[in-house]
Amino acid sequence: MSAIPSDQPHNRPPAGARAPVRRVVIAGGGTAGWMVAAGLSKTLGPLLDIKLIESDEIGTVGVGEATIPSLQTFHSLLGIDEQAFMAATQATFKLGIRFESWRDVGRDYFHGFGQTGKDHWTAGFQHFWLKGRQQQLAADYGAYALEAQAAQAGRFAHLPDDGLHYAYHLDATLYARFLRSFSEALGVQRIEGKIVSVDADAQSREIRALQLNSGARLEGDLFIDCTGFRALLIGETLKVDYEDWSHWLFNDSAVAVQTASVGDAVPYTRSIAHPWGWQWRIPLQHRVGNGLVYSSRHVDDEQARQALLAHIEGTLLTQPRVLRFCPGQRQLAWSGNCVAIGLSSGFLEPLESTSIYLIQRAIIRLVQLFPGAGIEPADVVEFNQQTRDDIEHVRDFIVLHYHVTNRHDAPYWQSSRGMPIPASLQHRIDLFRQTGRVFRVAGELFSENSWAQVMLGQGLMPKQHHVVAQLMGDAELARFLDGIRASVDQAVVQMPPHQAYVERYIGSARARAGNK
C-alpha cells in the first residue's frame, strides 16, 4: 500500500484544530519540578521540548522526607536502580509509622504497610480478630502484621515475592538533585533564573510565555506550575481559587530542624502527638529530620520551637525554621494550558507521608491524558476530577486521626473530636463502628487494612463482627491466630538489623560506582 501524499487532506489539520503540545515549560524545581521533568522526559521525551526554570536563590520547602510504597512504582516506570537512588539520597527503608500518644496520652499504635493477618473473601481479618479479642484469644492487632513487627524490632530484608512492603526515608534536596541528573541526561534543559512576569491572555486565560530576570522569554504550549505555595501561574496569574480546609485540619504551621544521628536508623517514621499538634522524627543514613506541625491558634511559634528542641536528640545541623501553610486544594489543578503539581495545587500536612505520592499521581495522570494533539476540555475535566478524588480521599484519612481519639487533655483535641467532618468520612466511621466493615473506594490510596489499623489504633472498636467468624470454634480460631503470629515472629527473627542491612546494601552500590 502506498503512503498517503503529504498534500492529501488526511494529513491536514481540520479547521479549528487545537495546536499540538510540543513545548513544555516547568516553572520551579525542587521535588515536584524534577519529578515532573523525570516522568515526562522518560515517557514522552523524544516528542517534547522540556525546559525547567529554577533559581539557586530560591529555597525549596523540601516536601516530606518520608514516603509510601507507591514510590517504588514510580521508580520502576522510570527504570531507576534502587541501590543507586538510595546511595544518592542517603535513604533508609520505611515499614510504616508509629503513632505515639495519638489514641490517648501514652497510648501508641503502628500503621504498617502490607497486610495484617489473613482475610476471607467475605470479611477482612479484623472480624476474626474481633471475635478472638472477645474470647480473649487475640494479641494486639499489630502482632499479626509482618511490617509492624519487623519495624519495631528494628529489622529489614528484601523478601521473595515482595513479601515485605516498604517505602523510604530520603533527603528531599538530594532527591531533587538525583532526578535533575536523570532528567538532564534525557534532554531536559534547566534554565537558571527567576520568573519576573507571566504573559497570559486575559480572555482565554492561557499562558503565552514566562519572562525571566535575565531578560529571557520562554514561550510554551503547556506550563507546569511547580512554584510551591506561591502558585505563581495557577493562582497569581490565572486566579484559580483555593479551597480552605482549615475547619477540618487545624494545623497551619510547622517548625523543622535537622540533627546528627545518635544511634541506628529505625525502619519507621515516628509521629508523636502533642497538646496542639504532632512531631515527626525521620532517620536517614547521615542525619535525622525533625519537625513539629502545629496550630498557631493553640500555640505560638516560640513555644512550638522550644517544644521541638526539647524533644530531639543529637547536635543541631540546621537552625529551626518556621513554615506557614493552609490545608486545602485549588478548585482546578488544570486551567487553560497550565497544570499545577505539588504545593501549588494543594497541601495536606505530611501525617501519612502523602505529599510525594500526590505529585507522582499527578504526573502519571498527566502522561495518561497528555494533550499531544492539543488540549481538549474533556481531558481537563477528567484530570481535575481525578485530582480532586485523590486528595479528598487522603484528606479524609488524615482527618480521621484527629477526630477519632480518646484524647481530651487539651482544647486542640477536644475541638478535633467535636468538629463536624466530611460526610464521606462520617459514613466510613459509622460503618466501621457499627459493623467492623471497611469498603475501599476504587482507585483510592489507602487499603482496607490501613483504614482498619488506624481506626482500631485510634480507639474505634466495632460493636460487632461479621457472622462468618462464628463458623470458627474457639480452638480453631486460636490455632488460626496463633499460626499467623508464629509465622510473623519467625520471619522477623530471620531478618538482619535494619542499620546493618542498609550499610551492606548501599555499600555495594557505592563500591560499584567507585569502580566505574
Task: List residues with catalytic annotation.
Answer: 94
Stated as kind and residue range, the H or E segment containing 29 is none
Nearest to 285 by CA among 62, 498, 30, 95: 498
Nearest to 166 by CA among 396, 353, 388, 372: 353
Determine the Cα–Cα distance for residues 391 and 149; give it in Å rounded to an integer.
30
Q: ∠504-509-512 over CA atoms, to 5°?
A: 125
Sheet of strand 328-330: strand arrangement: 242-244, 328-330, 346-347
DSSP state of 235: I
Contact 366, 391 (CB under 8 A): no
Give the number of other Cβ atoms within 10 Å of residue 210's Cβ. Answer: 26
Contact 147, 113 (CB under 8 A): yes
Determine the Cα–Cα distance for residues 98 and 101; give it in Å rounded to an integer.
10
DSSP, collapsed to helix, strand or coil, labels residue 33 as helix
Determine the Cα–Cα distance for residues 231 and 340; give it in Å rounded to an integer.
8
Determine the Cα–Cα distance for residues 318 and 256; give it in Å rounded to an integer.
9
What residue ranges in 297-391 does DSSP mark as E strands? 321-324, 328-330, 334-335, 338-340, 346-347
Residue type, 446: F
Task: State the residue for C-alpha cell 499504635.
Answer: 109
Stated as kind and residue range, the H or E segment containing 30 is helix 30-44
DSSP state of 5: P
Give the number of other Cβ atoms within 10 Å of residue 272's Cβ. Answer: 17
Decide the pairing of beta strands 195-200 and 207-212.
Answer: antiparallel
**Phi/psi-derived region of residue 328, left when phi > 0, alpha when psi is between -120 and 50, beta in every other case:** left
Stated as kind and residue range, the H or E segment containing 476 is helix 474-493
Give the number of other Cβ atoms within 10 Å of residue 493's Cβ. Answer: 11
Nearest to 159 by CA among 144, 147, 145: 147
Residue 239 has, within 13 A of its CA and on its CB side, a CA count of 6
Determine the Cα–Cα distance for residues 337 and 383; give it in Å rounded to an integer.
13
